[in-house]
Amino acid sequence: MMPYVCQVTGKKTEVGMNVSHSHRRTKRTFKPNIQVLKFHSDILGRDFSLKLTAAGLRTLVKHGGLDNYVTAKPISRLTPDMAAIKKAIDKKQATAKPGAKPAAGAKAAAKPAKKPAHKPNKSARLVKKVAAKKAK
């Protein structure tokens, strides 16, 4: 059985109580709204299948995609899955620019690049759908 954990926000299953009209209490679980989506990394040139909550999806869209989200956050604020993606991106950027050091946490995230006014979600499924419409 898969754990219900968001790879962006870290939200997971919580335990609570059902309370009846007579106030009898029975244990129950509250599961997060997990969706499995593919996001494309332009820097690494591949898709990542992520288990996200609706809030995690909104966070990635707000930051303008997977690459922008991961590079803007310090490694200490990322979940282990996202930290691994950030390390891979830093490694790729370091090999692309010889002599340049990988971003070191909050110092690199202090002044992010200027964001465009609106950048749509970079979901791989959405990119394919748009490309199919253009082809028609």
Q: What is the pLDDT of residue 1?
A: 57
Residue 70 in contact with residue 85, Cβ under 8 Å? yes
The rounded distance, in Å, linking the Cα atoms of 7 and 82 is: 7
* Residue 18, φ and ψ in degrees, nearest 5: -85, 135
| Predicted local confidence at residue 114, as pLDDT | 63
User: Domain locations in the chain?
Assistant: 1-102
- Distance CA(125)–CA(25), nearest Å, equals 43
pLDDT reported for residue 111: 60
Q: Which two tokens stand for residue 84?
A: 């691994």
Please state, in angstroms and rounded to a whole number, the distance separating the CA atoms of residues 70 and 59: 11
pTM beyond 0.75, yes or no: no
Q: Which CATH number fits domain 1-102: 2.30.170.40, 3.30.590.10, 2.70.170.10, 3.40.50.720?
A: 2.30.170.40
The per-residue pLDDT for 48 is: 93
Quickly count: other Cβ atoms within 10 Å of residue 48's Cβ: 19
Tokens of residue 90, six digits: 């830093």
Query: What is the DSSP annotation of 13-42?
Result: -EEEEEE-TT--EEEEEE---EEEEEEEET
In order along the chain (136 residues), what is the average pLDDT of each group of 10 residues? 86 96 97 94 92 94 92 91 92 78 52 59 71 82
- At residue 106, the pLDDT reads 46
Measure the CA–CA gap between 13 and 3, rounded to whole angstroms: 8
